[in-house]
Structure 1
Amino acid sequence: MKNFHDQTGKRVFIPSPPLRIISLVPSLTELLYSLQLENEVAGITKFCVHPESWFRTKKRIGGTKNVDVNAVQLLQPNIVIASKEENVKEQVEAIAAFCPVYCSDIANLNDAYEAIEQIGLLTDRSAHAKELTQQIKQRFAQITIAKQSLRCIYLIWKKPYMSAGGDTFINEMLTAAGFENVLQEQKRYPEITLEQIAALNVDVVFFSSEPFPFKQQHIDAFTSEWQYQMPQIKMPALQIVDGEFFSWYGSRLLYAAEYFKKLRESLFLSDEFTH
């Protein structure tokens, strides 16, 4: 039996080792896969798309915001992994009434490292988890940040447009990648209008692939609306980005640094910034 505080400060009593795990957090489901817990993971959410083999074969217990608590109980887990931001408090508390719950609360890279190592501890994969965090740290340390920092806005939603504020993991990733989030003084995910974006004089607007699945058609609509309403104002560069690299905080971080490097290179080599 393991006994420690999770990232929300709650004391959790964990069977050692847990034999049946349910993950309510897509990025931490991928982490469990990286920690080689194929046989131990009994259930995941419908948004746990990595790895694809688990997405196709593991029992799904609803979404991150609408967990089927009865389905969780029927699977008889002895540990459920949740997230303060991604899951609904009342649903997590209902699960905690019949099963231990480890709840993450991640706003920055240090929080992510701590969560990886805590999950490694509770699943008897401590050595593997520590090796993983060391690899991630090394890769982020290799990011060379140019003196020129591009001012950006990171959009996560449409109708209304919503963006990432300064107290989010996304903001942490933008900073680590060498971008300046012009909304870093705001909290959480503020709504923003086209006119407000124009007034902020940004270099680039990022359109995330999640949670709203921005695609080229949305870029085209944004462009048309801008040109119609504000033809006299130069439009910033518009870039669709893979939201998993900005908001997933498990083993996906292993590949984030290289993605950020290529993203910066592509922007600095584009026509927007070479004239």
Structure 2
Amino acid sequence: MTIKHVFDHLGRSVAVPFPPKRIVSLCPSLTETLFALGVGERVVGRTQFCIHPAEALADVVRVGGTKQVKDDVLASLAPDLIIAEKEENPKEMVERLAESYPVYVTDVETYEDALYMIRDLGKVVGARGEAKQITSEIEAGFAELAYVDGVRAAYFIWQNPYMVAGDHTYIHSLLSRCGFVNVFAEAEGRYPTVTEEEIRAAAPDYLFLSSEPFPFTEKHQEELAARFPDSTVVLVDGEMFSWYGSRMIAAADYLRKLVGEV
């Protein structure tokens, strides 16, 4: 068995059996990306929120959620690599798991970070060629994006209280890449809580209501349109805005259509 020492996105040295044959993924978008890289048959565990690709994941064992895993289930799988994500998985949990297993942590806040992550993931699991193909397709798709110059937007991820995407988030990066001005980029925190008064004062042209983690619906769209008549309220697919990885191939087309309707 060959042991490969790699540095993850937190600068941690991780000793990984190469190529890893029993992988557990603790982040939905990374799980989907592993299958896109062609190593899905080596994924033995995933979280309950890892739902794509649905058919392929049907027989993959659930180890818990992104914030808490079942240690006994994880132990029964004997993983030789755990893939985690800084934003999705708590530091304390990652550090505890790292005492028993090789844990590779990614850290994605921007479009560029996401491409870097795909390439690095390809190296770690032995799928460099597939990673290069995926990133090339993503780059080609995003190169065709239209650009809205200075349209002001707020991206909602939660209700009661209202929470929005701030700076230093992948969502903010995609908004900026399309030309939108994130009206809460200067707010404190990556996902700040905002009041109705703050929303009105920010004067967004568009309110984007995400399908996740809070499942905004047409009912919420109507309610917010009544409360903020000076803004256009739009329901958006949260996976296209927040699932970095292979999902970005589809996201490029989705964003191109969305920008075209603004």
* TM-score normalised by length of structure 1: 0.90
In structure 1, what residue type is equivalent to 2:250?
Y
Q: Which residue of 2 aligns with 1:161?
A: 162
1:88 partner amino acid: P
1:13 to 12, 15, 20: 15
1:144 to 143, 146, 149: 146
2 CA distance for matches of 1:183 and 1:37?
39
Query: Deviation of residue 89 (structure 1)?
Result: 1.4
Q: Secondary structure at the match of 2:40?
A: coil
- Measured in 2, the distance between the counterparts of 1:160 and 1:174 equals 22
- CA contact 1:69–1:94 (8 Å) conserved in 2: no
2:256 equivalent among 229, 248, 261: 261
Tell me, what secondary structure is at the counterpart of 1:246?
Answer: helix
Q: Which runs of 5+ in 1 are unaligned?
A: 228-233, 268-275
Cα shift readout 1:81-128 (whole Å, capped 9, x = no counterpart): 001110111211221111100000111122111111111111110111
- Relative to structure 1, the CA distance from residue 124 to residue 27 in structure 2 (aligned partners, 3 Å threshold; closer, same or farther) is same
The aligned amino acid for 1:95 is L
Report the number of matched residues.
259
Partner residue, 2:62: 60
- Name segments (4+ residues, structure 1) moved above 4 Å: none
2:80 corresponds to: 78
Question: How far off its partner does 1:13 sit?
Answer: 0.9
Aligned mates of 2:95, 2:53 — CA distance in 1? 27
Q: How does 1:1-275 map to 2 (within 5 A)?
A: 1-146=3-148, 148-186=149-187, 187-224=189-226, 226=227, 234-267=229-262
Instruction: Indicate the structure (1 or 2) with the bigger Cα radius of gyration.
Output: 1
Letter in 1 for 2:147: I
TM-aligned CA deviation for residue 177 of structure 1: 2.0
Separation in 2, partners of 1:68, 1:178? 42
* Residue identity in the other structure for 1:42: V
8 Å CA contact 1:207–1:238 kept in 2: the answer is: yes
Name the aligned partner's letter for residue 195 of structure 1.
E
Question: How far apart are the structure 2 equivalents of 1:54 and 1:60?
Answer: 13
**How far did 1:39 drift?**
1.6
**Equivalent AA in structure 2 for residue 245 of structure 1:** M
Q: Secondary structure at the match of 1:205?
A: strand
Structure 1: distance between partners of 2:155 and 2:217: 14
Contact 2:144 2:256 in 1 (8 A): no
Q: Which amino acid aligns with 1:160?
A: P
TM-score, normalised by the number of residues in structure 2: 0.95
Determine if contact 1:205/1:236 at 8 Å carries over to the other structure: yes
The more displaced of 50-59 and 205-214 is: 50-59
Greater mean deviation of Cα atoms: 160-169 or 213-222: 213-222
Cα distance, 1:217 vs. partner? 1.4
What SS does the aligned partner of 1:18 have? coil
Q: Which amino acid aligns with 1:80?
A: I
- 8 Å Cα contact 2:8-2:14 kept in structure 1: yes
Counterpart-to-counterpart distance in 2, 1:213 and 1:27: 18
CA contact (8 A) 1:69 1:91 kept: no
- Cα distance in 2 for partners of 1:162, 1:78 equals 37
CA distance in 2, matches of 1:40, 1:112: 22
What is the aligned-residue identity percentage? 42
